[in-house]
A = this chain, B = another copy of it.
Amino acid sequence: MNKKELRIIDKIENLEKKGAKLSNTQKILLATDGSVTTILDVLVGEIKIKTLKQEFQEADSDIAKLLSIDEGEIVNYRVVVMFNDNSPLIYATSYIPIKRLTSEFKKDLISADIPIGRILRKYNIESRREIQTVKIEKNPKDELKNIFKTNANFLSRDYHIIHNDEILIWIEEKFPIDSFLKNYKN
């Protein structure tokens, strides 16, 4: 096992040592390097997304560092909720450096509520995902509490989708720690 993988396992084990009892599904959603959309689709039926925010920004120093680009370069910033039957499943934030996008990818990103996993699949994009951080968020902001109608802590991870040896997308995903504990469609 190489260092990258050990870090993910270690981080998930550390969450459990801190008292978080995670279900298999929660662990997989935090650790997988595959499409989260595909996993949710088979668990709960075809999921949809609602775009809460979607805009172009100049990268500040933090975003530039996150994406390995220069400050001031244009990025797409998107906040979405993945949901099924009106129930929110995962809250996801993404930053994408525009210069690394094809025009067709950009069009889908802007114009329609399509999950990024499905856009990658639609255009047969070869990539790899590098999980960066996995953590418990103890004081989630009001927006999260309101969307998920919960006061629970949130599980959170962020990762890079690498394409052509460059960071194509930075994504952060969050869900309440009391979600994905049981089988759906029992």
Contact = CB atoms under 8 A, between A and B. Distances in A.
Interface string A104-144: 00000000000000101110111111000000000000000
A72 interface: no
Nearest to A36: B34
A33 B23 contact: no
Copies of this chain assembled into the complex: 2
A126 B24 contact: no
A121 B118 CA distance: 22
Given A24-B25, A25-B28, A34-B35, A41 B1 contact: yes
Contacts of A2: 118, 121-122
Contact of A42 (B28, B45, B124, B184): B28
Interface of A: 1-2, 4-5, 8-9, 12, 23-25, 27-28, 30-35, 37-39, 41-43, 45-46, 118, 120-122, 124-129, 162-165, 183-184
